[in-house]
Chains A and B, each alone.
Chain A
Amino acid sequence: MKASFDNLRMSGFYTLSFTLSLSKGATLIISLWLTAYVTAIEPTEKSEPVVSINLCTDQWLILFQDKHTNYYFSPLALNKGYNYLYSQVKKTQVILPSLDALILLNPSLILASQYSDKNLIHGLNNFGLSFTIIEPATNFEGIRRNISRIGKLINKTDKANRLLHDFNKRLTIVAKDAKNRPNQTAIFYAPNGFTHGEGTIYNAILEATGLTNLATELGVKGHGYLSLETLLWNNPDIIILEDDFSNNDSLSQQMLKHPALNRLLNQSRLIFVNANKLSCAGFGSLLAAEQIMEQR
């Protein structure tokens, strides 16, 4: 493994030398940066490295990591606004998902998503690097399948079973609690009127918490938009906002300060959910459901 890594590093060096002869100044800077970067991400003597190149696969991999693992994540894994597990990621574990960096690292497995860069996936295929595409789940059953699948892929089935057990136990508590609550309509509402209907994890979260998704009732399939007028006209019992929208540094977000919406919010219940729990379908979805139940 170490030998092949060195071979690859040498071939990378020759490639860089060749390009250096083509254009001098800019390539020199890139080469120096890349050399420094590769040194920074050189694997330790733990296990073979596993890399995630997508936020959602990052979140899965973080759940499985321990002191014996050698995992690398995409830069978004460090972003507090997107990743609820950001505090469990070290800066040294972050890798820019570029083909050259991945070739030099030569991981045993790369986890990607269907939203990953198609050219990068094509490149991984061409260079014979082992990668797996994890389909994003749109319901809780899909999340369970992904836990088991990733556990098998990285040879951590015991850990996957423990995670599954915890997941099911906590989801049952949410469902049990939801049965004792009145039947209410709710909607996830984001700037620009963005919302989530049938076939999304958001819809599954609302179902799990015993709420009827207004967007689904109005025929929204997948993700879509509802105008402020439509929202006012249908008057949901609960409006769910992602907490990151409380800041106002965007024109889209100013819509959430519209006087008409404010009047509706006087009648409807407003619930905030951390946006970083909703960025991917996974364990965060369960945490979002729990957060909704706490505020219902």
Chain B
Amino acid sequence: MTAFSHNNRWLIVLIILTILVASVLHLGSSSSQVNLSLSQLFQASEKKALIELIFFEIRIPRLLLAILVGFILGTTGAVMQGFLRNPLAGPDLLGVSNCAALGAVIALYFGFASQAWYLLPATGMLGAFIGMALIFLLSGSNHHNLRIILAGVAINAFAASLISIALNLSKNPYAMSEIVFWLMGSLSHKSLMDVGGVFPFILVAFLLLLSSAKFLDALTLGEESAISLGFNLKNEQIKLIIATALGIGAAVSIAGNIGFVGLIVPHLCRPLVKYQPGRLIFLSGLIGSLFMIISDTIVMQVSTTQEIKLGVVTSLVGGPFFLYLILRLGKNHDQP
């Protein structure tokens, strides 16, 4: 890991403590009809076994998934923006998330998902892998900014239409509601098995992304400088494709397509690490987790009869931020 300065270490500690506080709030969030606080878990009562069941089988898996999914979305967004040197790059905007969702949808509706536990994340990963590979193929060797975004938009739209076709053709009565699920994402009704199913892939993806930290720092000087410093561009590209496929594939297959986290989190963190892309990775992961926990707590608090989707909350924040980003980019270009 790129060395953090003394101030940065305190920042990391502060963020971890904030994540802990947010986690406690998340666990204690009462849903519409069950008013349960965290303290009840430690009190003797007739319903102790039931309270434990709710906390350990429903609320803790949900919290862990919020942490894991937010973490990998944040880190992947940071690395994609650093690698492509494009502030608009992110797994959702470039269509990688939708490609992962397409893989997962195919696994679900053709019945592979019920054959073995790993097949759902595996097909999600395959979809993300294809999406990432297509972006690199379509954007050409110089990774031109506009070309990357256009390629991403095209892949995104194509994957979304294939998801719609797959779900439209499905005989399953829940197919239509699933379109909404994939487009808006959710962490409700997940179990520890789901957490266990995605954790190894997210961990490997994170380690691979983290190993690119020094390369991303070198890349700020330009591709030729990075190559002259001994980095192999092709190897780093392959590493990014594999890491994104593993991380985003696993996250999307379990939580749906949660937008804007990978886009906005690195932008929020960049000033804190003095714009060094290597240092941005871990911090983006932490802020991604925090952002996801807060968003999911809002989902649990705001929802009354029907839970609003997590992706709706992240998009409500991400949409205006994206507009702000476009305006800021426009101003930078206008400056002489």
Chain A residues proximal to chain B, CB less than 8 Å: 81-82, 191-193, 218, 220, 224-230, 232-235, 244, 247-255, 258-260, 263, 275
Nearest 4 CB-CB pairings of A with B:
A260-B57, A230-B33, A255-B189, A248-B114
Is the pair B33, A192 in contact by a Cβ cutoff of 8 Å? no
A-chain residues with CB within 8 Å of residue B192 when the two chains form the complex: 259
Is the pair A250, B305 in contact by a Cβ cutoff of 8 Å? no
The count of chain B contact residues (Cβ–Cβ below 8 Å) is: 36
Cross-chain contact of B53 among A252, A253, A263 (Cβ < 8 A) = A263
Complex alpha-carbon distance, A251 and B54, angstroms: 21
Known: A227-B31, A251-B178. A81 touches B171 (CB 8 A): yes
Interface assignment of B174: CB less than 8 Å from any CB of chain A: yes
Q: Which residue of B lies closest to A260 (CB)?
A: B57
A-chain residues with CB within 8 Å of residue B57 when the two chains form the complex: 258-260, 263
Interchain Cβ contacts under 8 Å between A and B, 10 examples: A227-B31, A227-B189, A227-B307, A235-B50, A249-B110, A250-B108, A251-B104, A253-B172, A259-B191, A260-B54
B interface, by DSSP: helix, strand, loop or mixed?
A: loop
A-chain residues with CB within 8 Å of residue B305 when the two chains form the complex: 220, 224-225
A-facing residues in B99-136 (Cβ within 8 Å): 104, 108-111, 113-114
A-chain residues with CB within 8 Å of residue B175 when the two chains form the complex: 250
Complex alpha-carbon distance, A254 and B36, angstroms: 25
Complex alpha-carbon distance, A248 and B171, angstroms: 12
Known: A230-B31, A232-B50. A260 touches B174 (CB 8 A): no
Cross-chain contact of A232 among B53, B109, B111, B170 (Cβ < 8 A) = B53
A-facing residues in B29-72 (Cβ within 8 Å): 31-34, 36, 47, 50, 53-54, 57-59
Complex alpha-carbon distance, A63 and B172, angstroms: 26
Q: How far is the CB of B145 from chain A (nearest CB, A)?
A: 35
Interface assignment of B306: CB less than 8 Å from any CB of chain A: yes
Q: How far is the CB of B94 from chain A (nearest CB, A)?
A: 23
Complex alpha-carbon distance, A143 and B55, angstroms: 44
Interface assignment of B320: CB less than 8 Å from any CB of chain A: no
Is the pair A227, B173 in contact by a Cβ cutoff of 8 Å? no
Interface assignment of B301: CB less than 8 Å from any CB of chain A: no
- Which of B57, B113, B173, B178 gathers most chain A CB within 10 Å? B173
Scan B238-257; emit 1 where CB is below 8 A from any A CB, else 0. Answer: 00000000000000000000
Cross-chain contact of B306 among A225, A232, A253 (Cβ < 8 A) = A225
Is the pair A249, B189 in contact by a Cβ cutoff of 8 Å? no
Complex alpha-carbon distance, A53 and B239, angstroms: 55
Is the pair A227, B174 in contact by a Cβ cutoff of 8 Å? no
- Which of A81, A229, A235 gathers most chain B CB within 10 Å? A229
Cross-chain contact of B109 among A82, A244, A249 (Cβ < 8 A) = A249
Scan B170-192; emit 1 where CB is below 8 A from any A CB, else 0. Answer: 11111101100100000011011
A-chain residues with CB within 8 Å of residue B178 when the two chains form the complex: 250-252
Q: How far is the CB of A187 from chain B (nearest CB, A)?
A: 13
Known: A226-B33, A227-B34, A233-B33. A249 touches B111 (CB 8 A): yes
Cross-chain contact of B58 among A81, A228, A253 (Cβ < 8 A) = A228
Is the pair A192, B54 in contact by a Cβ cutoff of 8 Å? no
Q: How far is the CB of A279 from chain B (nearest CB, A)?
A: 9
Cross-chain contact of A192 among B111, B170, B172, B174 (Cβ < 8 A) = B174
Q: How far is the CB of A286 from chain B (nearest CB, A)?
A: 22
Q: How far is the CB of A195 from chain B (nearest CB, A)?
A: 10
Known: A226-B33, A259-B57. A244 touches B173 (CB 8 A): yes
B-chain residues with CB within 8 Å of residue A192 when the two chains form the complex: 174, 177
Q: Which residue of B lies closest to A244 (CB)?
A: B173
Known: A244-B173, A249-B114. A259 touches B193 (CB 8 A): yes
Q: Which residue of B lies closest to A264 (CB)?
A: B53
A-chain residues with CB within 8 Å of residue B114 when the two chains form the complex: 248-249
Q: How far is the CB of B166 from chain A (nearest CB, A)?
A: 11
Complex alpha-carbon distance, A96 and B263, angstroms: 45
Is the pair B53, A218 in contact by a Cβ cutoff of 8 Å? no
Q: How far is the CB of B95 from chain A (nearest CB, A)?
A: 20
Is the pair B172, A250 in contact by a Cβ cutoff of 8 Å? yes
B-chain residues with CB within 8 Å of residue A275 when the two chains form the complex: 173
Is the pair A229, B58 in contact by a Cβ cutoff of 8 Å? yes
- Given A249-B111, A250-B170, A250-B175, 7 more A-B residue pairs with CB atoms under 8 Å apart are A82-B173, A229-B34, A244-B173, A250-B172, A251-B178, A252-B177, A255-B189
Is the pair A230, B111 in contact by a Cβ cutoff of 8 Å? no
Cross-chain contact of A249 among B33, B53, B108 (Cβ < 8 A) = B108
Q: How far is the CB of A13 from chain B (nearest CB, A)?
A: 32
Complex alpha-carbon distance, A132 and B244, angstroms: 56
Complex alpha-carbon distance, A259 and B189, angstroms: 10
B-chain residues with CB within 8 Å of residue A224 when the two chains form the complex: 305-306
Scan B274-309; emit 1 where CB is below 8 A from any A CB, else 0. Answer: 000000000000000000000000000000011100
Complex alpha-carbon distance, A224 and B304, angstroms: 10
Cross-chain contact of A252 among B58, B110, B174 (Cβ < 8 A) = B174
B-chain residues with CB within 8 Å of residue A226 when the two chains form the complex: 33
